[in-house]
Structure 1
Amino acid sequence: MTSARAPFRQRGVALFIVIIFVMLSMLLALWASRTSLFQEMLTGNDADYQRTFEAAQALLQDAELDIRGEMADGSACSAAPCRAYTSSLQFPGDSKEINPLITLLEAEATRCKDALCTRRVGRQDFWNYAKEETVVKPAANAASGEVPLSALKAVGARYGQYTGAANTTAAGPLNPILTETDEKHGGWYWIEIMRYSDAAKSASLIVNASTSQLPLNLDVYVVFRITALALGRKPGTSVVLQQTYVRQRLKD
């Protein structure tokens, strides 16, 4: 006589384990997708910054050509859009022209006109004052040219404005930032006209052991400080580059 076997009870353990593995797989897939999205955002931000940095460098080079009175191909200006033919403001050709130019610029509310500016005597990081309310006591500081960035953008120069430099090729624009023309995008440069001090005019740059001196080899005792500002395609991306530039003459 055989005894009856007790019925087998299914407790659902296998189903529970399968559900756990499915949830883990979903979490892993979600983590992978978020990581990929984060890496894509980093790559996009870095690419936008590099593009903006290159635009600022191009603006510095364009400003140097503007100072030298040259076209984008390096030839001398002979027609528009070069500054000598489009503006009454020109870079000083001799020391006697510096003071009248600075006097003219100081009469402007922004201390700038046609991208030419006097030396800033107020806060130097003017690019950080994007709005009127960010300027501390604008009325009291009007003499120092502390005005919102929007006011300075109106008197800044765009890429190729005075050199004829083109940002396009047959395949399209080299840098899309330089083709932007609205206030919130693109790039600008400003050139400050700064005198050498009277002591610097007569001082020498190098004195060797035999007391022989190397005099300052300049056409005009003036230094140009160029500030280039480029705004990226993404909100919050901006690059500011500054450099000083001095024109020199060749030895006879």
Structure 2
Amino acid sequence: MKDEMTVALSASRKIFAVLDALHRTRRPMTLSAIARAAGLPLSTVHRIAGDLAEWGGLERDARGRYQMGLHMWELGSLAPRSTGLVDAALPFLEDLYEATHGNVRLGVREGTEVIFVSHLSGHGSVPLRTRAAQRLPMPTTGVGLALLAHAPNDVLEKVLTQELPRFTPFTVPDSGALRRLLADARRNGYAICDRQMTSDAVSVAAPIRTMTGEVVAAVSVAVQGSGPEAVRRHVPAVLMAARGISRNIARTPEPTWTTSPRLTQSA
């Protein structure tokens, strides 16, 4: 029985490796490219990809390359921290966009990263590197800073002891500067991210809370500019959106917004 469980677990991890390879590249891949990215034999990837394609989890394009299938999207849409949260937040995200015409984003924390679950923008919005369903280091975005400011201590310390990625010359240079930004975010009730991810974009973000006060998400708006003054006038609108979303999720009868134990572990 133990050997059977070990084999089954190993097979599962191989499937996850194939899916993760496609997720990382975000583009169609050949079987050989998937095998290299996943670190698996080509014959194994061929079998797994065939099974996933038959199930609907993968699709093949006209050139024979594999990409994520619609069935994966169907499964992902059942996650309450993505679709359920977006449903509750959407009216407020739309109002925030109409008030600012900036890039409006909604994100949640997973481990030491932020995942954007919704993104609204228009023709006049400043172009950003971020998009929905993307993971990024928390210190480099407004949403991430708002979430990190209220993260458990083990998560905070893990982020502070890691080498901070630099995307622009304005990216936070060290843990001391990051601690000061997070202290400001806790004191003010909102976080400002000044050109840390995109060299001409500034964002302001506010946390979204449950009835018990737990921070489960954050909302932000990004505009073109330089320095905190570029977003000062949008602070009230962002705070209003965060309060509205918080009230809306508080009406949900089931605790679908709480963070799972996996998300707060330090390992």
Q: Tell me if TM exceeds 0.5.
A: no
Whichever of the two has the greater Rg, that structure is 1
* Structure with more relative contact order (C-alpha pairs < 8 Å, separation 6 or more): 1
Give the TM-score normalised by the residue count of structure 1. Answer: 0.25
Normalized per residue, the structure richer in helix is 2
| TM-score, normalisation: structure 2 | 0.24
